[in-house]
Chains A and B, each alone.
Chain A
Amino acid sequence: MKVVGVSKCPAGLAHTPMAAKALMKAGDKLGWDVKIEQQGATGIINKVTREEAEAADFVLYATDQMIDEEERFEGKKKIRVNINTCIKAPEAVLKKCGSAVEAQN
């Protein structure tokens, strides 16, 4: 599975990097290709390009906020998950999203 995504939280200080890292680590563990962009207090880190988004199976929004530069992901399957859930159980989040996407195909 190839996944791109964005993490974003109210202050952009703590939960944004935590969720991004937790998801990417869980991705490694599952043998998936996971790249999560951080939209935090210092600006955008680890930016996902349009090409990367094109190649992905789905886009994961680890936030309940509006995200910046959303037009990149036009036409992709987008899934929103609570950011705290992504920190708490990143692997289960990925698996659940993965099977939900497969079920749709």
Chain B
Amino acid sequence: MMEGIDISDVFDESHVLLDLDAKTQDDVFHAVAEAAVRNGIADDANALYEGFLQREQEVTTGLMDGYAIPHTKNEAAKRAAMFYVRVPNPLPWETMDDSEVTNLFCLIAPASCEGNPHLVMLSALATCLLEDDFKEAVAKAASAEELVSLVTEHIEKEVE
């Protein structure tokens, strides 16, 4: 399943936003949308932002233990990608255990993505978040490099 696919296509150090100064969901969505445009993943930051917001309004993407997984399937996205965001001040968020959110994986997928192999990796990341070990390790990771290798290792295990 993994032939010809490289996790660095969807996630690398430039997709890690540690210590993002965000006070609300909005701040995070804007920051990620802008980072995605900077990285050439999408051409319209506002459309991405709206996409995150809209998905969040349908049903919350808050999980447990301070994690959330905002995502958008978006016309503005040219390819699939994911971002990791950590905020120093926990964000108010509707979550399954009523915790506030400090760790976020933000997923971006193009609008038409039937059979897109990169989406397998986004899904794999989502299922990694069911594992307490993974969540603990990610929350503790001190650098972007450490995060990328951690995420890569777990996704590979998940996709085998």
Direct contact between A and B judged by beta carbons closer than 8 A: yes
Residues of A within 8 A of B (CB): 9-18, 21-22, 25, 38, 40-43, 84, 87-88
A42 to B89 Cα, complex, angstroms: 35
Give the contacting residue for B130; candidates A9, A12, A22, A84; CB below 8 A.
A22
User: Is the beta-carbon distance between B115 and A42 smaller than 8 angstroms?
Assistant: yes
Known contacts being A13-B73, A87-B63, is A25 close to B55, with CB within 8 Å? no
- For residue B150, CB closer than 8 A to chain A, the reply is no
> Shortest CB–CB separation between residue B36 and chain A, in angstroms?
15
Inter-subunit contact B71/A14 (CB<8 Å): yes
Contact of B107 among A14, A22, A84, A88 (CB under 8 A): A14
Q: Mark B102-134, 1 if CB is under 8 A from A, else 0.
A: 000001010001111001101110110110000
The answer on a CB contact under 8 Å between B115 and A43 is yes
B96→A87 contact, CB < 8 A:
yes
Partner of A42, one of B59, B96, B119, B129: B119
Using CB atoms and an 8 Å cutoff, list the residues of chain B in contact with chain A.
55, 58-61, 63-64, 69, 71-73, 96-97, 107, 109, 113-116, 119-120, 122-124, 126-127, 129-130
Question: Do A42 and B55 have beta carbons less than 8 Å apart?
Answer: no
* Known A11-B72, A25-B130, A41-B116; 14 more pairs at CB < 8 Å: A11-B55, A14-B61, A14-B69, A15-B61, A15-B126, A16-B123, A17-B123, A17-B124, A18-B130, A21-B127, A40-B119, A42-B113, A84-B59, A88-B97
| Partner among B59, B63, B126 whose Cβ is within 8 Å of the Cβ of A10 | B59
15 contacts between A and B (CB under 8 A): A10-B58, A11-B72, A11-B73, A12-B73, A13-B71, A14-B61, A15-B126, A16-B123, A17-B126, A17-B127, A25-B130, A40-B119, A42-B115, A42-B119, A84-B59
Q: Which residue of B lies closest to A88 (CB)?
A: B96
The answer to whether B63 touches A13, judged by C-beta atoms less than 8 angstroms apart, is no
- Contact of B73 with A41 in the complex, beta carbons under 8 Å: yes
Considering the complex, give the chain B residue whose CB is closest to the CB of A22. B130
B59 proximity list for chain A (CB < 8 A): 9-10, 84
Query: Which residues of chain A have C-beta atoms less than 8 A from B122's C-beta?
Result: 13-14
Task: Say which residue of A16, A21, A43, A84 sits within 8 Å of B96 (CB atoms).
Answer: A84
CA distance A20 to B61 in the complex (A): 16
A88 touches B64 (CB 8 A): yes
